[in-house]
Amino acid sequence: MKGDAGAALTALRGSMNTVQLATVGADGEPHIGYTPHLFDGADILIFVSRLAVHTRDLLDNGKASVMLIADEAEATQIFARTRVSYRCHATAIAPADARYESLLDAFQARHGKMIGLLRQLPDFVLFRLRPHAGQFVMGFGKAYKLSGDALDQFEHATSG
């Protein structure tokens, strides 16, 4: 990682409990929501209900964008909040998967006993969001395209 940018990205990822989640429906309409998440290496795990439109979108086409963004109350400049966005491929993790229970245990350790209740409900789906592109913004003139297998290489962005 690139010095200050790497440290800032690590801090942002460690401090956020939820991601903003954008999906597109079969009709081409965009949908946005948020959900608690958990990092598993470079991948992002989410545990969401089939009743939510974004879950149906993920099951239908496996595409998502996610964003973690610093709290606006803590921002020194509202136009330049620290944030990272990733374009991802989403795949459902089946309950029969060898890691399914341990991943939900990790989810529960991070997000509390509500996960214990949700994991008993038949409509909840565990997804692995695998980022394939990303952008990290620390402020004006401090935007980076993320590359590399783990999206941990920083290239100063010169365009959106």
- CA distances 1 to 32, 55, 72, 88, 153, Å, are 30, 32, 25, 20, 6
pLDDT of residue 38: 95
Give me the domains of the chain, ranges plus CATH numbers: 3-156 (2.30.110.10)
pLDDT of residue 159: 66
Residue 3 and residue 153: Cα distance in Å, rounded?
11
Residue 33 and residue 160: Cα distance in Å, rounded?
23
3-state secondary structure 7-34: HHHHHHHHHCCEEEEEEECCCCCEEEEE
Tens of pLDDT along 85-124? 999 999 999 999 999 999 999 999 999 999 988 998 889 9
Residue 42 and residue 45: Cα distance in Å, rounded?
10
- Closest by Cα among 35, 67, 28, 30 to 51: 35
Residue 86 in tokens: 């990733």
pLDDT score of 1 more than 70 = no
pLDDT of residue 158: 77
The model's pTM is 0.91
Tens of pLDDT along 62-88? 999 999 999 989 888 889 899 999 999
Q: How confident is the model at residue 2 (pLDDT cuts 50, 70, 90)?
A: low
pLDDT score of 128 more than 90 = yes
* DSSP structural state of residue 58: H
